[in-house]
Amino acid sequence: MAEIIEHQKSEDTYDDPDHPIPALKAIDINTVKKSGGSSLHIIIASPLKAEEYSLTRLLDKIEGYLGHIQSVDYQEESGSPTPENTRIIVNIHPDSDEKAFELLERSKPWALQNNATLEIELLEEKHEN
């Protein structure tokens, strides 16, 4: 895998249920396409801060997804990943720090080098009527 940003890998790969990115090793949502490929979602439901711990968790989460799409299990289910058929969509809370958005933008070439397209979508609040 191509490295985009040199960062210290977090030794804390355990789940942190109080963090906006609670589980590093889990795929939050994976929608497999009949035509091949998939849309994989990273859900950040509360504001992500610009602290090193949070930004490192974000990079680690993306790296986990990029590794997953290279796995035999993924390819048996979804076929070979390409930037055209494989999207990693980061659904991020709109009140997240601007540095998180900048880091995601800088991560787009990294995803392309690993056969995926990285997209950023603001998480919308659902209001009950």
Question: Tens of pLDDT along 28-79?
Answer: 999 999 999 999 999 999 999 999 999 999 999 999 999 999 999 999 999 9
Q: Classify residue 125 as left (phi > 0), alpha (psi -120 to 50) or beta.
A: beta
Give the integer Cα–Cα distance in Å for 106 and 108. 6
pTM of the model: 0.88
pLDDT at position 127 over 60: no
Q: Looking at residue 5, what is its pLDDT?
A: 52
Which residue is listed with tokens 């680690």?
60
105 φ/ψ angles, rounded to the nearest 5 degrees: -60, -45
Q: Looking at residue 94, what is its pLDDT?
A: 98
Q: DSSP letter string over 59-125?
A: HHHHHHHHHHTTSHHHHHHH-S--TTTEEEEEEE-TTS-HHHHHHHHHHHHHHHHTT-EEEEEEPPP
Q: Looking at residue 8, what is its pLDDT?
A: 56
Averaged pLDDT score across all residues of the chain? 91
Q: Looking at residue 10, what is its pLDDT?
A: 52
Task: Please state which of the ranges 5-9, 11-15, 35-39, 69-73 shows the lowest mean pLDDT.
Answer: 5-9
